[in-house]
Amino acid sequence: MNKKPIVAGNWKMNKHPKEGFSFVDEIQDLLLDINHVSVIFAPPFTGLFEMNVNPPFYSAAQNCHWENSGAFTGEISVSMIKDCGANYVIIGHSENRQSGETDKLINLKIKSAIKSNLKVIFCIGETLQQKRKKITKQVLNKQIRFGLNKIKIKNNIILAYEPVWSIGTGVIPKKNELFETINFIKKKINKCKVLYGGSVNPKNIIVLKSIDNIDGFLIGGASQDPNKFIDIIKKTYN
């Protein structure tokens, strides 16, 4: 585990703004003295505006559009996200890929975000079918190559490896498999932090954090419950 791990909570389409604000206040109050872990909250767009976070706590959007403005009904631009005070944006989540987001669009979104100095949490991962066909590495390679096409990586991008078969299922990869996959990703993209995401919970965090090359976690379900989220954060750095 990295010396200063990142624990990011993806709330997906959950928590109304007020609920989100009090959740964030509660977590920040209860973890007042943490400084060796970065915590990121990713609420729905409606909860980003006026979210009051102070380092080592940060906020993230769950998606963005690649254009700055225009006739794009229902979309939100990078500058609008930045205006809300967010520091990060999640791009390429499998739930968006499944509803039609292509590598090409992901690439445009990442370019737009980093051009405006919004840090990116770039999600990649194979489906169960692809895992069974033993083509995980090819899939990840393609997602990385197209997603990051013509992009200069500094510390502006964090990878999140999220096997689709692990998201919301309670099943996580075997320790050695996960180590090997993260290693594969890190060899492809030098000096990039890699988070793991998929069914992280207060129990399996013990095993997951013992995997040397993981730099943190992207958490869905368990990030929406204050007790579970705090438990995971504490176990991550203890």
Interaction site with ligand PGA (CB under 6 A): 10, 162, 167-168, 197-200, 218-222
Cα→Cα distances 217→78, 85, 236, Å: 23, 22, 9
Q: How far is the CB of 225 from ligand PGA (least distance, A)?
A: 11
Q: How far is the CB of 205 from ligand PGA (least distance, A)?
A: 11
Residue whose CB is less far from ligand PGA, 116 or 201: 201
Q: Distance between CA 88 and CA 85 in Å, rounded?
A: 9
Inter-residue contact 147 to 108 (CB < 8 Å) = no
Residue whose CB is less far from ligand PGA, 149 or 202: 202
Q: How far is the CB of 121 from ligand PGA (least distance, A)?
A: 9
19 is catalytic: no
Closest residue to ligand PGA, judged by C-beta, is: 220
DSSP assignments along 159-183, one per residue: EEE--GGGTTTS----HHHHHHHHH
Q: How far is the CB of 172 from ligand PGA (least distance, A)?
A: 9
93 is catalytic: yes
CB contact set of 204 (below 8 Å; sequence gap of 6+): 172
Q: Distance between CA 224 and CA 220 in Å, rounded?
A: 7
Spot the catalytic one: 36, 67, 162, 177.
162
Amino acid identity for residue 64 in this structure: C
- By annotation, the residues acting in catalysis are 93, 162
